[in-house]
Amino acid sequence: MIAWLGSGDLVLVAAIVGFAACAQMVSGFGFALMAVPMMGLVIDLKTAVVVSTICGTASNTYQAIFDRRHRDDELVRVLLLASAAGMPLGFLVLKHVAVSTLQIAIGALVLVALVAVLRRAPGTKKLASSVDWIAGFLSGILATSTSTNGPPLVLLLRSRGLSPEVFRATINTVFSGVAVLSICLFAIGGRVTSEVLVGAVVAVPGLAVGMALGARLRGALPDKVFWRLVAVVLAATAVSSIASGLL
Distance, first Cα to last Cα, the chain: 27
Which of 22-26, 153-157, 158-162, 238-242 has the weakest average pLDDT? 158-162
- Between helix 99-118 and helix 31-39 the angle, nearest 10°, is 140
pLDDT of 81 higher than 80: yes
CB atoms within 10 A of CB 9: 17
Query: CA-CA distance, 228 to 64, in Å (whole number)?
Result: 25
Which of 66-75, 116-125, 145-154, 231-240 reaches the highest mean pLDDT? 66-75
Helices and strands per DSSP (H, E), number in the chain: 10, 0
Q: Which of 10-19, 132-141, 151-160, 218-227 has the lowest mean pLDDT?
A: 218-227
Burial of 96 (0-12, 13-18, 19+ CB in 10 A): exposed
CA-wise closest residue to 20 among 70, 60, 66, 50: 60
What does the alpha-carbon distance between residue 126 and residue 100 come to, in Å, rounded to a whole number? 38
Confidence of residue 119 (pLDDT cuts 50, 70, 90): low
Give the least confident one: 66-75, 152-161, 227-236. 227-236
Q: What is the mean pLDDT of residues 74-102?
A: 91
86 or 43, which is more confident: 86
**Confidence band, pLDDT 50/70/90 cuts, at residue 226:** low
Q: Where are the domains of the chain?
A: 9-246
Angle among Cα 223, 224, 229 to the nearest 5 degrees reads 95
pLDDT of 121 reads: 53
| C-alpha 72, offset from chain centre | 20
The torsion defined by the Cα of 112, 237, 59 and 194, in degrees rounded to 10, comes to 120
Higher pLDDT residue, 130 or 74? 74
Return the higher-pLDDT residue of 223 and 29: 29
Ramachandran category for residue 196: left, alpha or beta (phi over 0 → left; psi -120 to 50 → alpha): alpha
What is the rounded average pLDDT of the residues 27-42? 83
pLDDT the model gives residue 1: 37
In angstroms, rounded to a whole number, what is the distance separating the alpha carbons of residues 51 and 49? 6
Give the range among 138-142, 154-158, 187-191, 216-220 with minimum mean pLDDT: 216-220
Per-residue model confidence as pLDDT tens digits over 149-178: 888 888 788 778 777 788 889 999 999 999
| Report field, pTM of the whole predicted structure over 0.85 | no
Half-sphere exposure at residue 63, Cβ-oriented, CA atoms within 13 angstroms: 34
Evaluate whether 14 touches 32 at the Cβ level (below 8 Å). no
Residue 220 has pLDDT above 50, yes or no: yes
